[in-house]
Structure 1
């Protein structure tokens, strides 16, 4: 056998320090995730935690392969036998930790009832473990709880072993003054004057504290939410200020107690004895928006549907012939967070694979006040059909129409949110759907 080298190869050294920094950062990030209140911000931290975990798993596999093909430096002959065995056991322990943390995390994600996909740094999808993801709900819960407990215990063991490892390095560098530190810090000299030693000692708390430097999404104010969904559409240059469409905020407070709906609503049969021919309107998709507002532990979540169509037949003089049909592609949703956008079409939420569309159909439109209307219809979502009332304002300027409106839904009525997401403590049942559209007729 050839003589052992005096230090590890440069590749092994690089892998050592990168993996060490990643694990220290992960420990701090996990701590922060527990302390942070639930919401969209901590959701992003979980996605980062998973991405770094899979990166560590890949790097550890490379390191193990490198270890089997490259001889490591030997321990100093001055080390007692028990200490040499302790060092070897510590190395084995670190390999177990480096594999155990990401693997238990992978099992944890695969067995989770939320079924949220993992996308490596938002680019490469990582599948769940198939032999776990296909189990029954009860079996998955047992595995999930065991993996969660194991993941936590390994994290605690990592902190203890890391503290012991740093203490051993300091002992060899400052007290025994042998070459152990130089095995991984190439060119390092013995003793406390070595700058590489102090650099490492400074980097440990720096990397640990860096987990708190990551900004997370803050709750949006209601004003910003309304602006995000109902950005102004292209208005006609001939539009008169005194007849502008009321804002979404002004649509909401339609109080039945002040003036009963039955007294304010007026069907065409009550207005005229003649039947007018209804007008067919063509939606201008580029100038129209459809979205929703919800929250997660108080943090506003604003979503928009990027693929939807509307069929509109409407004439103020022929309201009994009015027809509205809106079809939404549930696989096309944007909330400003790619991980959440990938999760919403899944079986726990919209289940777009089985129910790709949501459809709202209204055949009854009432006039409530000047430029204000109410469409009563049926919404079909996840194979559940429920009555929905849509309040909207409308301004017709020649062959152009501008409308905006709002509807309140209960997501639990449609089964949106399965498993632990069915609870309404973090994500409320009430969802506000808002739209703003422009249409034209020939």
Structure 2
């Protein structure tokens, strides 16, 4: 079961081939799932595919950790061609890079799943959460960025590994493959030991990969966090007339989000790009609001592509949603109500947005909520009950604004 300086033992060979089979399975499931249509007919199949994909990934992570520990405590078989120093070093660097990929890829996927309300659960005996990983959209996006880049590194490492194995069989005609398939003893045990340069180079590679992925994600988040602005559409003129002589207010920061139940658990969606044209008179408590929302800027956890598809927001055909309403203050407190209509995927539905408004001189801050029903817009008609997607959609608006001088 143990290694020698000339051969791989049974446990090392088991780790190698078991992980290889699981990686190929995970790749296949991911490709199939990514290319399968998102609709009511495929949702159960997709959930099963991604559950298996995630469970296989976690299994790979655990086996990879055990394999690395075993590799550290066991003798490493000597190179068969120690005289080819550069080739031997390159092979060892790739070997350690592959070890890193077997840890980073599944672990980043597990963190991404743990930080969000996942579309498909990881199967028993593994849990859905991880210690020290909060439910956080920021953490999920960061882990997703690392996962996406790391998958390509893993793919490249696997291809290089296979190419090297084929070279040893076809060109070198040596026992490299036989050592891993049959445990054949080969090589000169008296040759020098392996260099520390290879594991250090592999570690350096992963520092660069992870750092680059996190930096790219941070830049994307910073760009998305800029004040939300889109040009007002001219296709549908506003039906709400501005209040006469009411001051205009410019949104300086804001967040437009919603929550909907998915398989019984709430999941949050966010629109990154939108703008609001607001008039409001502090003395009378009256005003108007017209909001243009770029629906293509939607993110909804692990089901963003499904939400943008033809059964829901259909962003290929409808890129903009419009909310227009008249504002009225309720008595003399901070409570207000905006009464109007929202137009989404070609359907116009009445909506009532209740919000609190705090005004301090020329600055204002508001927080509001509204409740919609996806069925009123013909959304998700293939999802006739709430077992997969809930009917209720809870809208939350938070913004700060500055009064125009």
Q: TM-score range by the shorter chain?
A: 0.3 to 0.5
Normalising by structure 1, report the TM-score.
0.41
TM-score (norm 2): 0.45
Q: Name which one, 1 or 2, has greater alpha-carbon Rg.
A: 1
